[in-house]
Amino acid sequence: MGVTIRDVAEKAGVSVSTVSKVMNHWKTISEETTKRVEAAAAELKYTPNARAVNFARGNTRNIIYLTELKKGEAYSNPHMFDIMCGVFTELARNGYTMSLMDISDEAHPKETIRDIIDQKSADGIVIHGSVINQATADLIIDRSFPHLVIGHPDFDNRLCWVDTNHELAGEHAGEYILKHNAFPTVFIGGRKNEFISHEREKGFRSFLLRHKHRVTSDHVVYTSSTWKEGYEAAMKILSYDSSDASAAGGNQIPGSIVCENNTIAVGVSRAIKELGLSVPEDVAFLTFDVYPYSTILDPKPEVVEINVYDMGVQAGAMICRKIDNPGLMIQSYITLPEME
């Protein structure tokens, strides 16, 4: 049914190898035969069978993207899918296909990856840091299989990874506050020991400290990242009775509130609205990430946005380089912040 290289060879009156060479643009073929073969191929509407080509060449031209693909993941973790789109686009540009594979604790990450390597079903893998463990890392390193981890693992490792620099994002937030002289400033974070929140807080505070503004601990609030807690924190912060001010050690309504994430910002926005304050005149209002909620808030926060799609593109480019150059070692922070 399908037209193969054989059919083209017959029609053009040449050998199969010659057709192959024409299809691959070898320059040793005479112009005349090239034309004859191309004409035959065109007439038969011949397209090389991609799987056969890769099989003969001993590669797959396929990269597997490993991540959690559970029900609801698209809503709880949309950034991951944006990264995935970035990776995909870059891989396609480099002539690779991309397959998906589910990986989570239940899916036995180590066995999944061992199978990929043994069955040679891909030339490389892109995998999310959140689903990788020490045993899996050891396996990848041991087999020296081309890989790239998105989001650096929380243990010592020799894996190749890329990540966003949340501390730097925190510094950008500090920069905004400084530029608008919106002091004193209050940082409302997630839980104290949460990685991303901690990094953002650290960058924020250290940037301001370098510029002679100390953000004291009583100007940092930890929450469990619900909008309610954000709302309550903001109500408390923004409602200092001016008569109390001197009494409570110089407490005053802050010039700005920085929310570590979108959900907290929902509550803070609601509090600002309820108190009839205007942004940024009465209080500047800042958060991280445009999505999922910042666009529908009123008042609307300023946003420190990280272009994660582009991080995906970078990751895609890196895995391609890794495949061509297995010795390559990459561990880097890629941050493309944009003030929106």
Partner DNA sequence: CTGAAAGCGCTTACAG
Site residues for its own copies per CB under 8 A: 2, 45, 47-52, 54-55, 60, 62, 69-75, 78-82, 84-86, 88-89, 92, 97-102, 115, 118-121, 227, 263, 266, 270, 290-293, 296, 298, 309
Rounded Cα distance between 264 and 301, Å, is 11
For residue 24, state whether it binds DNA (rule: CB under 7 A). yes
Whichever of 33 and 94 has its CB closer to its own copies, that residue is 94
Question: Helix (H, G, I), strand (E, B), or coil: what is residue 99?
Answer: strand
Whichever of 121 and 331 has its CB closer to its own copies, that residue is 121
Rounded Cα distance between 98 and 122, Å, is 9
- A 10 A CB-CB count for 13 gives 11
Whichever of 218 and 324 has its CB closer to its own copies, that residue is 324
For residue 95, state whether it binds DNA (rule: CB under 7 A). no
Rounded Cα distance between 273 and 227, Å, is 14
Segment contacting DNA by CB under 7 A, of 53-61, 178-186, 242-250, 301-309 = 53-61
Side chain identity, residue 272: I
Within 8 A by CB and 6+ apart from 324, the residues are: none
Are the beta carbons of 112 and 104 closer than 8 angstroms?
no
For residue 134, state whether it binds DNA (rule: CB under 7 A). no
Q: Residues 54 to 73: which contact DNA by CB under 7 A?
A: 55-58
Q: Binding partner of residue 28 among its own copies, DNA, none, CB under 5 to 8 Å per kind?
A: DNA
Residue 320 CB, shortest distance to DNA, in Å, is: 18
Figure out which of the listed residues 18, 256, 262, 263 binds DNA, where binding follows CB under 7 A: 18
Residue 53 CB, shortest distance to DNA, in Å, is: 4
φ, ψ of residue 27 in degrees (nearest 5): -90, 5
For residue 23, state whether it binds DNA (rule: CB under 7 A). yes
Question: In Å, how far are 182, 204, 213, 227, 293 from 283, measured between CA atoms?
Answer: 7, 18, 18, 19, 20
Are the beta carbons of 34 and 66 closer than 8 angstroms?
no
Rounded Cα distance between 272 and 300, Å, is 10
Q: Binding partner of residue 70 among its own copies, DNA, none, CB under 5 to 8 Å per kind?
A: its own copies
Q: Binding partner of residue 99 among its own copies, DNA, none, CB under 5 to 8 Å per kind?
A: its own copies
**Locus of tokens 């800042």:** 286
Residue 206 CB, shortest distance to its own copies, in Å, is: 31
Figure out which of the listed residues 35, 42, 43, 52 binds DNA, where binding follows CB under 7 A: 52
Are the beta carbons of 137 and 110 closer than 8 angstroms?
no
Residue 45 CB, shortest distance to its own copies, in Å, is: 7
The count of residues interacting with DNA (CB under 7 A) is: 30
Q: Binding partner of residue 79 among DNA, its own copies, none, CB under 5 to 8 Å per kind?
A: its own copies
For residue 332, state whether it binds DNA (rule: CB under 7 A). no
DSSP string covering 265-284, please? HHHHHHHHHHTT--TTTT-E
Segment contacting DNA by CB under 7 A, of 1-9, 94-102, 141-149, 295-303 = 1-9
Residue 175 CB, shortest distance to its own copies, in Å, is: 25
Side chain identity, residue 148: L
φ, ψ of residue 71 in degrees (nearest 5): -60, 135
Residue 106 DSSP class = G
The site for DNA (CB under 7 A) is made up of 2, 4-6, 13-18, 20-21, 23-24, 27-30, 32-34, 46, 48-49, 52-53, 55-58
